[in-house]
Amino acid sequence: MKNIVVGVLTLFIVGLMVFTAMDDAVFHGGHQAKVIEDFGDGSNQQAANLAASPKEKSDREKEDEALKALRDKAGNAGIFKVSNEYKSKCASCHGANGSGYQNGKPMMGPPLFGQSEEEIYKSLVDFKAGRKENMVMRGLLIHLEDEDLRRFAKEIGEFPARAKEELN
């Protein structure tokens, strides 16, 4: 099972590299050539723009890749056992396994998978106290006691370990 996951992940990463390489080629030839065409031989400002844009793009790509990696990490975690209270109270916005994604689309809540018990607990306390502002989370937590927050935090903090157990 582990081997399959690693294989799929490797294929995905290689695919992404190929895609990135192709995309870059199109970008240089297509978009930039067109910009040069449109603006003649160009001022310093345009030269600066041209120099800056590929970097911007690669930054954005890096961000996309990081997001994809996180999604994969959680996505590959597959389905492991979660409590009924997580399922009924949290999964609708954060995903059945905390990935924050459903069928490849981002859900309303951010990914929780991979965050530690302390991180989750702190977020929950901050939402409840209004230090971290979010109407949805606050409304949800206002009815929960501190021990409930600890229980949720403990459970979500265990997600990676649970996923690993499921894979072995």
Pick the stretch among 28-36, 39-47, 50-58, 84-92 that binds ligand HEC (CB under 6 A). Answer: 84-92
Show the site string, 93-132: x = touches ligand HEC by CB under 6 A, - = not. xx-------------xxx-x-------x--xx--------
Show the site string, 13-52: x = touches ligand HEC by CB under 6 A, - = not. ----------------------------------------
Cα–Cα dist 155/90, whole Å: 12
Considering CB under 6 A, how many residues would be counted as binding ligand HEC? Answer: 17
Closest contact distance (angstroms) between CB of 50 and ligand HEC is: 36
Pick the stretch among 5-13, 14-22, 57-65, 92-100 that binds ligand HEC (CB under 6 A). Answer: 92-100
Strand residues in the chain grouped as ranges (E): 101-102, 105-106
Residues 113/97, Cβ–Cβ less than 8 Å: yes
Q: Let me know if 31 is exposed, middle or buried by CB neighbors in 10 A (0-12, 13-18, 19+).
A: middle
Distances (CA, A) of 141 to 90, 103, 117, 150: 11, 27, 17, 12
